[in-house]
Amino acid sequence: MTKLDKYSKISILWDVPSQLPWALGSSPRATGQRTHQKADRSVLDNRRILLIVSGGIAAVKVPDLIRRLRERGASVRCILTRAGAQFVTPLSLAALSGDKVYTELFSLTDESEMGHIRLSREADVVLVAPATADIMAKMAHGMADDLATTALLATDKPVIIAPSMNVMMWTHPATQANLATLQGRQITTVGPGAGDLACGEVGDGRMAEVPEIIAAVGRLLRKDNRNGPLARRRILVTSGPTYEPIDPVRYLANRSSGKQGHAIAAALANLGADVTLVSGPTHEPAPDGVTLIRVETAIDMLKAVRAGLPADVAVCAAAVADWGVSNPAPGKIKKGAKPPTLRLAPNPDILATLSQLSRGRPKLVVGFAAETNNLLKNAKAKRAAKGCDWIVANDVSPGTGAFGGDSNTVHLVTADGVEDWPTMRKQAVAERLAARIAEALSA
Ligand code: CTP
């Protein structure tokens, strides 16, 4: 099967117009812009969040916040203040968090089972949402007159607050002074946003929306990772397919979902690396803490990769189209009696370009080999032809589910030989590869 058949399927696209990806508007975003979206499952996975709920109307958003944090693999333990309990019940928080909800400082059972010191230490991050003017004032002045404020004073973990209050309370010099004090102590703030407030007034003071809070918690956890084994390493990752325009509404593409490349970017970031992910259009969420650069064509992907240099490591996981249309039509091609003929021109090979850089070549360049036949033979030949250090070889034959699926069976081809890895979820493949990269760099 040729590359053309394997990825681009031109004949099929033209014969079955309903399969044409007409609606660029509904395609994954591909704006070529640098974005920094940070909410991602992996960085929150297995992280423990102590959520302090103080007494504001925005506490009604807390059940959704807990649900979304847990969806991303985080465990959530709640402290509910007396005022918070006016807006949301301990029972609902317990049901959603799957854990006991702590309310009283002087509770004999709570203190003996889980004292306030342990509560504040057995977390990776402390999140105060909503954070009222009152709790901010208490935090700023080191007051500790209930369980929430005592835990906040006792914690040695990063703290993030999501303020929520009336606009006049927010802009009041006392609150702003307290905010400055807290920020001076490295406490992170998310929001508040502007809009209609529950009190009927309009302005700043709305608690940040749940996705924003989750993104901010993710960023904080990432920062906390700065002493990981890949700290201070710059890593470039390519991911996803490329779209090669035929005319303004049609393009040639392939079946890459970007799952593996995005998972690799996330796993590297989780080990502390400074990751730039250059991705073609995908539906994958932007991994936390990764600089994401969205591109469409192979030519743009190469430009973005070059702009991302210098890097210690490059991992090319993108399924770059080998050819682009050499003469994309400026206007939509009308359906005539005769189907149009497309002339293709070779695209730059990004992996080979990086591997063969005479100056500024990353120390370690890792490519992928997507093969349907003679997997290892082709993968070894690809490694030699392109000049990269490692090749992650995977069988993308129909039925393996590798393209678009969640699992992958890969073989790592290096100068020392071939490692056969068992079938794993793409996230596990990514974690293993990230660990191998960290090991190689430290060697
Ligand atoms: N690659 C690249 N730029 C291209 C084509 C491929 O950077 N224009 C990279 C891919 O990201 C991958 C590796 O090269 O890391 C191999 O891609 P693959 O599609 O398996 O192979 P091709 O080089 O396209 O060769 P063939 O289609 O003949 O298998």
Any atom of ligand 1 within 6 Å of the Cβ of 370? yes
Q: Distance (Å, rounded) from C-alpha 379 to C-alpha 241?
A: 20
Specify whether 309 is located in the same domain as 430. Answer: yes
Catalytic annotation on 78?
no
Percent of the chain with pLDDT over 90: 65
pTM of the model: 0.66
The confidence band for 111, taking pLDDT boundaries of 50, 70 and 90, is low
The confidence band for 227, taking pLDDT boundaries of 50, 70 and 90, is confident
> From the alpha carbon of 322, which atom of ligand 1 is closest?
8
Which residue's alpha carbon is at the smallest distance from atom 27 of ligand 1?
Answer: 3
Q: Report the separation in Å between the CA atom of 8 and the middle of ligand 1, taken as the mean of its atom positions.
A: 13
Residue type at 53 in one-letter notation: V
Residue 183, C-beta contacts closer than 8 angstroms, at least 6 positions apart: 189
Specify whether 285 is located in the same domain as 400. Answer: yes
End of a domain among 202, 223, 244?
A: 223
Any atom of ligand 1 within 6 Å of the Cβ of 393? no
Pull the structure tokens for residue 5: 């058949």
Specify whether 364 is located in the same domain as 424. Answer: yes
Any atom of ligand 1 within 6 Å of the Cβ of 244? no
Specify whether 213 is located in the same domain as 249. Answer: no
Any atom of ligand 1 within 6 Å of the Cβ of 367? yes
Specify whether 251 is located in the same domain as 386. Answer: yes
Which residue's alpha carbon is at the smallest distance from atom 16 of ligand 1?
Answer: 369
Does any domain span residue 18? no
Specify whether 281 is located in the same domain as 422. Answer: yes
> From the alpha carbon of 318, which atom of ligand 1 is closest?
11
Specify whether 216 is located in the same domain as 236. Answer: no
The domain that holds 396 is classified in CATH as 3.40.50.10300
Instruction: Give the residue from 443, 404, 410, 403 showing the smallest Cα distance to 428.
Output: 410
Any atom of ligand 1 within 6 Å of the Cβ of 369? yes
Q: What is the mean pLDDT of residues 270-285?
A: 92
Specify whether 34 is located in the same domain as 72. Answer: no
Cβ atoms of 344 and 323 closer than 8 Å: yes
Q: List, for residues 124-150, the tens digit of each pLDDT value.
A: 999 999 999 999 999 999 999 999 999
Q: List, for residues 10-38, the tens digit of each pLDDT value.
A: 322 332 232 333 222 233 434 444 433 33
Specify whether 232 is located in the same domain as 219. Answer: no
Query: What pLDDT, on a 0 to 100 scale, did the predictor assign at position 113?
Result: 60
Does any domain span residue 17? no
Instruction: Give the residue from 243, 313, 232 showing the smallest Cα distance to 277.
Output: 313
> From the alpha carbon of 391, which atom of ligand 1 is closest?
15
> From the alpha carbon of 238, which atom of ligand 1 is closest?
11
Specify whether 188 is located in the same domain as 280. Answer: no
Which residue's alpha carbon is at the smallest distance from atom 6 of ligand 1?
Answer: 320
Beta bridge partners of 391: 367, 413
- Count how many domains the chain has: 2
Specify whether 306 is located in the same domain as 357. Answer: yes
Host domain of residue 399:
3-12+26-39+227-442
Q: Report the separation in Å between the CA atom of 425 and the middle of ligand 1, taken as the mean of its atom positions.
A: 22
Q: List, for residues 152-208, the tens digit of each pLDDT value.
A: 999 999 999 999 999 999 999 999 999 999 999 889 999 998 877 777 777 788 999
Q: Distance (Å, rounded) from C-alpha 66 to C-alpha 49?
A: 10
Q: List, for residues 345-404, the tens digit of each pLDDT value.
A: 999 999 999 999 999 999 999 999 988 889 999 999 999 999 999 999 998 877 777 776
Pull the structure tokens for residue 156: 């040695």
Which of 254, 299, 351 is the best mutation target for the ligand 1 pocket, counting ligand atoms within 8 Å of the beta carbon and taking the most?
A: 351
Q: List, for residues 88-100, the tens digit of each pLDDT value.
A: 999 999 999 999 9
Q: Distance (Å, rounded) from C-alpha 73 to C-alpha 42?
A: 8
Specify whether 249 is located in the same domain as 180. Answer: no
Any atom of ligand 1 within 6 Å of the Cβ of 347? yes
Q: Report the separation in Å between the CA atom of 279 and the middle of ligand 1, taken as the mean of its atom positions.
A: 15
Does any domain span residue 392? yes
End of a domain among 223, 255, 290?
A: 223
Does any domain span residue 145? yes
Work out whether strand 390-395 and strand 410-414 pair parallel, antiparallel, or are unpaired: antiparallel
The domain that holds 102 is classified in CATH as 3.40.50.1950
Which residue's alpha carbon is at the smallest distance from atom 14 of ligand 1?
Answer: 351
End of a domain among 203, 223, 243?
A: 223
